[in-house]
Structure 1
């Protein structure tokens, strides 16, 4: 009985050992530079700053008066590239203290209007959408 099982078992063991000896390509690792870490942290801080601004009641009221929901704005901020968020955040930094929140609202409105005209978002009903191909 042992001789009858020896041949299939040996084939299974040989196949298993060969399968284990094959391996995929090695993972590539690279050094992470300080600039990459700083830019990632700066991007997170900029997004947090924009979200903090959008969480303010006066900003929410001004946006709802223009017919824009808070969830649409939050989704748009999440969809923005790091460069767009950085530009918006730097504009917030240049505003006078307690001052021109209307300028920020206008900037957000323009960004939303442009993305709506490009067909990326569908927020404003008065914007003509590009023809679908």
Structure 2
């Protein structure tokens, strides 16, 4: 009887260990995967706040790009000696908070005076990132 009990308990333990292995070895995102792949592999829920923040940041960048695509703004940027490709790259590199702040500043500018204010805001952002060493636009910051 003791042999049967020992055999059954060993068999039961082995069965429990084998059935719990798939749970313990659940697939996780390997290191080195990009963010999109990690999000697809993840089973976590996405909060409404994070989705709205992403949409808001995209709308802010779109607003900034709309203003920067105007001919008069581009003309003024070229007069300031700013490369338009650098401006596009810089806007794309803005954090969500910086894009929101810049879009809010553009919204607060009075009609007609927005070009100068927008150019000044772009100039200041480019200058600050150049001083921090993130870009290489202005030679006088070295």
Residue of 82, 96, 103 corresponding to 1:89: 103
The TM-score, its normalising length taken from structure 2, stands at 0.69
Q: 1:38-117 alignment to 2 at 5 Å?
A: 38-117=52-131
- 1:14-29 matches, within 5 Å, as 24-26=25-27, 28-29=42-43
Divergent runs of 4+, >4 A? 21-24
Asked if the contact 2:106/2:117 (under 8 Å) is kept, the reply is no
TM-score normalized with structure 1 length? 0.74
The number of residues matched between the two structures is 108
Structure 2: where are the runs of 5+ without partners? 1-20, 29-41
Alpha-carbon distance in 1 for matches of 2:91, 2:120: 15
What is the alpha-carbon root mean square deviation over aligned residues?
Answer: 1.8
Structure 1 residue runs without a partner (length 5+): 1-20, 129-133
Q: Which has the higher helix share?
A: 2
Deviation at 1:98, TM superposition (A): 3.0
